[in-house]
Structure 1
Amino acid sequence: MTPATMRGPAAALAAATPAGRDRYVDLLRVVSLGVVIAGHWLMAVPVTDAGGTARVTNVLALVPALAPATWLLQVMPVFFLVGGFAHATALTSIARRGGGYADFARSRTARLLRPTAVFVAIWLALALGAALAGQDHGLVRVALRTVVQPLWFLGVYLGLVALAPAMWRLHRRFGAAVPAALLAAAVVVDVLRFHGHPRVAMLNLLIVWAGVHQLGFLYADGTLQRGGRRLGLLLAGGGLTAVVLLTSAGPYPVSMVGVPGEAISNMSPPTAALAAHAVWLVGLVLLLREPATRLLRRARVWRAVVAANGLAMTAFLWHLSAAFVVLVTLGGLSAGAPGSAGWWATRPLWIGAAALVTAVLVLTFRRFDAARPTVITAGPGPRAAAGAALCTLGVLGVSAVGFGGLLEGRTATLLVVPVTAPVAVALVALGAGLLRAAPLSSPRRPEAAANGEIVGGRR
């Protein structure tokens, strides 16, 4: 981000910020995506096996002592917390303007699917070209499979969009009992999983993230803030204690991200340990809220947050693509084995190079991440619900199968059904079409983007 850009649209948006806007939510969105991006860059290690085949592994598989660092670096729960807040704000705004389910689903999915569709289309074309040219092997195949893996989070997020109106109604009736019940259900699922019923583990993909998303509703209505520092300490201390106990005396690995070679992953599907980790992070978020809010009153800091919010999603989509560009052109930029002093000394160069290439990709593709005014109408939502569900399944399918082996009919299991990459892409396209075709009636005034979703340089 150049100084000129900072003085342009971002400065104008920052100056026009409503007095009642929760700036901390916007900061959390930027920081959570930024930490995920930096964590992916840091953990990616290129290796060559005995047969000379290139692949990319996780540094945690080579240096297990680094696993506790994921208790800070695994911040995806913070993004889902922010998502709950943003969806509560949007639902309230749409209801006030007379809109319905279709309006919410269409507006929430559109700003995610536009940049994602461009990303998927480009990588699908690259995969097809590589396959036809006979180059779909080695590091190329690794890239074709890896760059789309982070889309799992968008798939889950789209699923929560589809469920948000119903979950918001539950929140308004039962309040904190809803996330408490969901997080307790995650424990029950794990008990069943470890006692002869492994297939039920996939339920936690929805249960855990829905529970964290529901905590965002509690932030939106002020419940968490009213708890003050005492609640923050309780959640942070209780969550962290549970993480320590579950990973030391329980069956869960220390790492809060998946590690090659480990029998159990706390992330895929999520476990009760990850749920406890989410609780500790929410407590930390509450503890940092007051000093961060004071900092955000500074004009320069707020302008930076506004500018970064306009770039965050595009950067997330393309950051692994940038890493593979650096890997192909400059190698691993490593001077020594992973975890050694030489390796650590070259990490700033590696991350800096990946950030530079990402910046170029962001400048190229950020136009597709621009928020557009949403026309608020009053219409039924069954078709929109079906569209949102298909988009969820399709994006999860793309993440699971990747684009490597595109012409070989490679499959991956989506829930319990094997899917290929073309089928997954077709599900997304069909879902998007249903969303666009969802019946709507008399247009009214546009809806502004929800708090926590300053995107594409507009709000």
Structure 2
Amino acid sequence: MRDLLQRIDASTPAGRDRAVDALRALAVLGVVLGHWLVTALVADSGTVRGASPLRYLPQLAPVSWVFQTLAVFFLVGGQMGARGHASARAGGMTYGQWLGGRLARLARPVAAVLVVWTVAAVAMLSAGAGPETVRTLVRLVLSPLWFLLVFALLTAATPLVARLRPWWPFAAVALVDLVRFCLGGPAWLGWINVAAGWLVPYCLGAAWARGDLRSRGTGWALLLGGAAATAGLVRWGGYPAAMVGVPGAGVSNLDPPTLAAVVFGLAQCGAALLLLGPLRRVLRRPAAWAAVALVNLAAMTIFLWHQTALIAVTAIGTLAGAALPGLHTVPDGSGWLLARMAWLPVFVLALLVCWAAFGTYERGRA
């Protein structure tokens, strides 16, 4: 094991910023754990429906503050996208070659998920599963793809947005929310924020790549300013406290993104920037770096298949013949949450099986 750790450490380019990879790994794992903790599949009169403990236990909203880490992913994506495009140009690579390579790494694992779940949906319907059940499961698996679509679009626009100041998309988000919530504007305007909202941390990442965010004061300003603005919007602006969607809620901070989600993302970006120094020190240790490197090598597989792992464990659990706490039961109490946490290692094992089966698509060997 020690030799393996040393080989991973030695094979890493000397100029690689390991803290950036660590932030990416933390962002992916945050999304996965968040989904596993706030997603329940409940059998009701022969139909499987989705439920969330946040609906029954709104005091758990702080859980979403820890695990809704998409802004950090877009921050890192903007930094890596801007640096990667600049390096490609310096090396004589065309925009099309650079973009094709980046999108291919996204497309292969996504195609695998789509094919497998198309076959699974047809098989379930042919076996007599109800359309509502199949719709619930397919939606659960495919819902994360919206994030990858937005990420792909922002990646394609990197040459245009690399020098865009983040306050421009931020102003667009604020204007959209003002029209929607204060002036009675149409709800469809909110979908402008799907691009504008995530463009804010992406532009911050591009600024980071330019060297504009070196001051620790910037990190503190983003963290404290974003946290204060989030608290104010939740306390006096009528925005939900949960930073993820809650079934049955009138307003979602994430679907589409609201101003509260964007300023919360700014706070997360500030925290990420402040963590760079400590992360760089920790990642000098071969064991710590090996863990980060392995997560990054499987990041797309982890992200795309984690809901399938949850569904598989839930389905296999039905063989017990009774509703298992934390797996099939309604998430309406603290007991459910404790039981769900006990299931997390089983979800991890199921995800490892998915990685063994489909990880080759991410590595480009399929």
TM-score by length of 2: 0.92
CA offset digits 1:280-322 (Å, max 9, x no partner): 0011112222111110111111111111111121011111011
2:225 to 231, 238, 255: 238
Q: Which moved more, 1:133-142 or 1:332-341?
A: 332-341
- The 5-angstrom pairing of residues 159-170 of structure 1 reads 159-168=153-162, 170=163
Cα distance in 2 between the residues matched to 1:200 and 1:139: 31
Task: Tell me the SS of whatever aligns to 1:334.
Answer: coil
Cα distance in 2 between the residues matched to 1:7 and 1:21: 21
* Distance verdict in 2 for CA 1:333–1:216, change over 3 Å: farther
1:197 to 158, 162, 185: 185
Cα distance in 1 between the residues matched to 2:281 and 2:243: 31
TM-score by length of 1: 0.74
CA offset digits 1:387-422 (Å, max 9, x no partner): xxxxxxxxxxxxxxxxxxxxxxxxxxxxxxxxxxxx
- Match status 1:28 vs 2:23: yes
* Distance verdict in 2 for CA 1:89–1:140, change over 3 Å: same
- Tell me the residue number matched to 2:171: 184
Q: May I ask how many residue pairs the two structures share in their alignment?
A: 358
1:136, CA displacement in angstroms?
Answer: 4.2
1:14, CA displacement in angstroms?
Answer: 2.8
* Distance verdict in 2 for CA 1:368–1:11, change over 3 Å: farther
- Match status 1:311 vs 2:293: no
1:127 to 118, 121, 146: 121
Cα distance in 1 between the residues matched to 2:100 and 2:6: 29
Cα distance in 2 between the residues matched to 1:119 and 1:43: 22
Cα distance in 1 between the residues matched to 2:11 and 2:155: 28
- Tell me the residue number matched to 2:39: 44
* C-alpha contact 1:333 1:350 (8 A) present in aligned 2: no
1:268 to 234, 255, 265: 255
Comparing both structures, which one devotes a greater share of its residues to helix? 2
- The 5-angstrom pairing of residues 93-172 of structure 1 reads 93-137=87-131, 139-168=133-162, 170-171=163-164
* C-alpha contact 2:125 2:134 (8 A) present in aligned 1: no
1:75, CA displacement in angstroms?
Answer: 0.5
1:35, CA displacement in angstroms?
Answer: 1.1
1:357 to 336, 350, 353: 350
- Tell me the residue number matched to 1:375: none
Cα distance in 2 between the residues matched to 1:361 and 1:118: 11
Cα distance in 2 between the residues matched to 1:136 and 1:193: 37
* C-alpha contact 2:30 2:66 (8 A) present in aligned 1: no
CA offset digits 1:410-451 (Å, max 9, x no partner): xxxxxxxxxxxxxxxxxxxxxxxxxxxxxxxxxxxxxxxxxx
Cα distance in 1 between the residues matched to 2:276 and 2:332: 34
1:262, CA displacement in angstroms?
Answer: 0.9
The RMSD of aligned alpha carbons is 2.1
- The 5-angstrom pairing of residues 256-295 of structure 1 reads 256-295=243-282
1:7, CA displacement in angstroms?
Answer: 5.5
5+ unaligned residues in a row in structure 2: which ranges?
Answer: none
Cα distance in 1 between the residues matched to 2:333 and 2:128: 37
- Name the aligned partner's letter for residue 334 of structure 1: P
1:196, CA displacement in angstroms?
Answer: 2.3
- The 5-angstrom pairing of residues 36-115 of structure 1 reads 36-49=31-44, 51-115=45-109
Cα distance in 1 between the residues matched to 2:85 and 2:153: 16
Cα distance in 2 between the residues matched to 1:19 and 1:236: 30
1:18, CA displacement in angstroms?
Answer: 2.1
Cα distance in 2 between the residues matched to 1:263 and 1:341: 24
- Match status 1:227 vs 2:215: yes
- Tell me the residue number matched to 1:327: 314
1:233, CA displacement in angstroms?
Answer: 1.6
1:93, CA displacement in angstroms?
Answer: 1.2
CA offset digits 1:321-380 (Å, max 9, x no partner): 1101111112574268636453233233211111110111101111110158xxxxxxxx
Cα distance in 2 between the residues matched to 1:290 and 1:300: 18
Cα distance in 2 between the residues matched to 1:69 and 1:307: 26
1:99, CA displacement in angstroms?
Answer: 2.0
- Name the aligned partner's letter for residue 20 of structure 1: G
5+ unaligned residues in a row in structure 1: which ranges?
Answer: 172-177, 373-455
* Distance verdict in 2 for CA 1:46–1:81, change over 3 Å: same
* Distance verdict in 2 for CA 1:276–1:185, change over 3 Å: same
Identity of aligned residues (%): 37
Cα distance in 2 between the residues matched to 1:118 and 1:42: 25
Cα distance in 2 between the residues matched to 1:60 and 1:251: 17
Cα distance in 2 between the residues matched to 1:101 and 1:317: 27
Cα distance in 2 between the residues matched to 1:258 and 1:7: 45
- Name the aligned partner's letter for residue 369 of structure 1: E
